[in-house]
Amino acid sequence: MMDFSFEGFGDFEAKTENIEIRKVGRFDRMWEVGSGGSINNVPLVVGDIAYFGAMDGYLYALDLDKKEELWKFRCLDGIEESSPQHSEGIIYFGSFDSYFYAVKADSGELVWKYKAQNMIDVASFVHKDGVLFGDKDGYLYCLDKKSGELRWTFKTGGPVISAPSAVENFALTGSADGYLYCINFETGSEIWRFKTGAEIHNDNNLTIVDGIVYFASFDNFLYALDVRSGSEIWKFKTGKYGNGGSPTYHEGRLYHGVRDGFVYCIDASKGTEIWRFRTGSDDVLDTTPLVYNGNVYFGSGDTYIYCVSLSGELVWKVKTDGIVCTSPKVWNGKIVIGSFDCHLYVLDWNTGDIYWRFSTSTLSQSPVPPPFENFKVEIKKTTEFGENISDSDNYKNKIENLNLGDYSKSEYSVKSEYVHKSEYTTEFVFFEGVMKSEQLWNLISIPTLWILK
C-alpha cells in the first residue's frame, strides 16, 4: 500500500510490488471555456461608459446612465480574461482568436490588430508608449500602442496566464512555468526571475505598490517581492486548491480571495493575517476584490456577489444564476460586475439592489470543461528474473471534474492508461478512480490493476 500526497497540484510517485511509476517531466494545465455569452471579464469604466468582453466574441460598450448599448465589436472567437484597457481614447484587449485589438472608445472602430502565436487570455497593460500582453504560447509581447508594431517578445517556459504590470522600466509577468519574470521594458531583456512552486495565474494586473509586487501562485502562497531585486520579502500560506488572482492594496492592507472560498485581509508590511471571510462553500474566488466606501466587494464561484465590511463582516450578498469569477468596478455609487449567467450587473453599493442588468447576445452559459494535465512518466517493472525494465513516454493524465458547473471543487475523476512496449511480456496497466485534493490517495496494488480511491 502506498499513499499519494496531494496538495494543490503536485508531482506524484508510486510503487507496487513489481511496478514503479514516477512523473519526471513538467506538465501543463490550462482552463478552457467554451462558447456562450458568459462574462469572465473585468469591466472597464470610463466616465459613464462600461467596456467589457464576453465569450460570445463581442466587446461591448454600454452607457450606464442611459442603460443602453452604444456599440459592440465582433472578434473571431471569445473574449474571456483579457479585460479591456484604456489609453488616449483607445481600448486594448485580446481574444481567443489570437489577435490583440485596438479599437476607438467612442465608436468601436478598429484602429489596428496584431496576430499573436496563440490565444490571448489575460489582460494587457499600457505603459508609457507601449502595451504589454501575453499569450498561451508562453510569450510576453510589447507593442507600440499607437501603431501596433512589435517592439519585442520575451519567451517564458509556459503559457502566460498572468496579466502583466509595469513600473518605471520594469515589466513584470508570471507564467505557467512557475516563475515571476522582471523584464527591461525598453529592450525586452530579462532582469531577474523568481521561482514559485506552481503556475502563476492572475486575471488582473499584478499589484505593485511602493516598489513591492504582490502576487499569487498555485503553490498556495501569496508573495511580496522587491521589484528591483526580485528578493522575497514575505510569503503567506493560503488555501489548498491553488491560488490565483491579484490582491487589492488599501491603506496598508491586502484583500485577497483564494480558491477555497475565503477572502483574506493581510497586513501588507508583515504578511500576516488580520481576518478571513468564508463564502458559502469551497468555491473558486481568485478575483481581485474592490474596496469602496468602507466595504470590500467581490464575486464567488457560489454564484453570489458579496459586500463585506473592512472588519470582515457580511453586509449583503446578491445571487446570480452563474459563477462570478470577475472583479467589480465602481460607477457613480454603483458596483459593476459580470457573471457567467451572461449578464452585467449594476448594483447599489450600499444595499445591493439591482440598478440595471444587461444581457449579452445569448443567454446560453459557456461550458467550463475541467483542467487537464500532460506530463512525462517513467515506468519501471521488475521481471521474474529480477531485471529492471525502464521506459519513458509522453503520458496524458486527464482530470475530469465531476461537476462542470463548478470547477473549483476538490473532487476529480482520474483515468489513465499506459501500455509498456519492450521485448519482455508486460501486462496492460490501468488505473482509475476518484481523488480528493485535501486527502492522501491510497493505492491498492493488484498485480496488473491499479485502483486509486
Q: Does position 436 have pLDDT exceeding 60, yes or no?
A: no
In which order are the strands placed within the sheet that holds 290-292? 290-292, 295-299, 304-309, 314-319
Lowest-pLDDT range of 8-12, 57-61, 153-157, 286-290: 8-12
Are the C-beta atoms of 274 and 268 separated by less than 8 Å? Answer: no
Q: Does position 442 have pLDDT exceeding 90, yes or no?
A: no
415 burial class (0-12, 13-18, 19+ CB within 10 angstroms)?
middle
Would you list the domain boundaries of the chain?
A: 2-29+372-452
pTM of the predicted protein model: 0.77
User: Rounded CA gap, 32 and 14, in Å?
Assistant: 30
More confident residue, 163 or 398: 163
Q: Does position 185 have pLDDT exceeding 50, yes or no?
A: yes
- Nearest alpha carbon to residue 441 among 418, 422, 401, 414: 414
Q: Does position 353 have pLDDT exceeding 60, yes or no?
A: yes
- Nearest alpha carbon to residue 158 among 141, 131, 135, 125: 135
Q: Does position 420 have pLDDT exceeding 70, yes or no?
A: no
More confident residue, 268 or 429: 268
DSSP secondary structure letters along 411-440: EEEEEEEE---SSS----EEEEEEEETTSP
More confident residue, 329 or 35: 329
> Average pLDDT, stretch 401-422?
33
Phi-psi region of 332 (alpha: psi -120 to 50; beta: other; left: phi over 0): left
pLDDT given for residue 367 in this prediction? 74
Rounded to 5°, angle at Cα 305 from 242 and 223: 30
